[in-house]
Amino acid sequence: MIDMHTHILPQIDDGAKDVEKAKELLLLEEAQGVSEIVFTPHYYGQKRSLEQFLQQRDKAAKALEAHILPTLKYRLGAEVHITGVNDPSDEKLCTLAIDGTRYVLMELPFTGRWNKSLFARIESFIADTGYFPIIAHAERYERFRNNPLLINELVKKGCLIQLNTHAFLRKRTQRFAFALLKHGLVHCLGTDTHDTENRAPDYLAAKSTIIDAGYQQAWEAIQLNMRRVLNGEVVRVRYTPLHKFLRWYF
C-alpha cells in the first residue's frame, strides 16, 4: 500500500517534532501494511523561500534515512498551498512535484472565496507545464462538500483527487467520501499523519471499512492509480459526475 500524504519528516512543519517521533510513525505505517511513503511537508511560499524549504527537507530526510525500515520505500514531495494568484510560481510548483513524477500535491485555500482565478490558475499551470495537481484531502473543503461539481471540473482538467484515510472513518465526511468513491473520484489515499496521538496513521482501518462496504475493486483501482503516478505515468481516470441535491449525493 502507498501513503501519498504524510507529515513524518522531522522538524520541518507541524508534523513529527523529532527523529524519535518520526520513527514511531514509520513503525505504525509499516505495521499497517504500507510499503511506500511520500513525505509531503507543508510549503507556504510566504513563510520561507523555495531554497530554504528544499534545504530543510533534504536535511530532515537525511536525519531520518538511517531509521527507515528496509521494507519501506519513500519519495520526497511537498504539500503546496496554492492561491488564485501566481503564488507559488509554475517553476516552484514543478520543483516541488513528487520525485520522479509530474504530480504536485496541492492544498487549496480553506478560507475566502474560490473565484474563477483559482481554477484558471490550475488550468494554466497544467497547460503551461504538463504537470498536474493532486488535490490534497478533498473531503476537508466545505466548498467541495456543498458543490461537488467543482471536483468534476478539476478532474476534467486532469487533476487527481486525494482523500485522507480518516475521511472514511469519521461521521462528518464518511458519506461524502463514499459518494466520491462510488463515482470514481478518489484516485489517491493518504493518512495525512502528523503525530501518534491525534493524527496517527489509520490506513488499515480505512482499508477494512472500504472493502467491507463492497468496494474492493475501487480500493484496488486507487492503489493502481498511485503506483502509476509513482511510476512517472500521466494517469487518466474514468469517473461519473457527482451531483448534490439538499443533503444527498447522486
Give the integer Cα–Cα distance in Å for 241 and 88: 30
Q: Taking the C-alpha atoms of 161, 165, 166 and 168 in order, what is their torsion angle to the nearest 10 degrees? A: 80
Domain 2-249 has CATH 3.20.20.190: no
Beta bridge partners of 189: 163
Q: What is the pLDDT of residue 84?
A: 65
Q: What is the pLDDT of residue 85?
A: 64
Q: Taking the C-alpha atoms of 193, 195, 199 and 201 in order, what is their torsion angle to the nearest 10 degrees? A: 50
Q: What is the pLDDT of residue 53?
A: 95
C-alpha cell of residue 82: 496554492
Residue ranges per domain, the chain? 2-249
> Mind giving me the DSSP string for 17-52?
SSHHHHHHHHHHHHHTT--EEEE--EE-TTTS-HHH
Over the chain (250 residues), what is each successive 10-residue block's mean pLDDT?
98 96 97 98 89 96 92 96 79 95 96 82 94 98 94 96 98 96 98 95 97 98 98 95 87
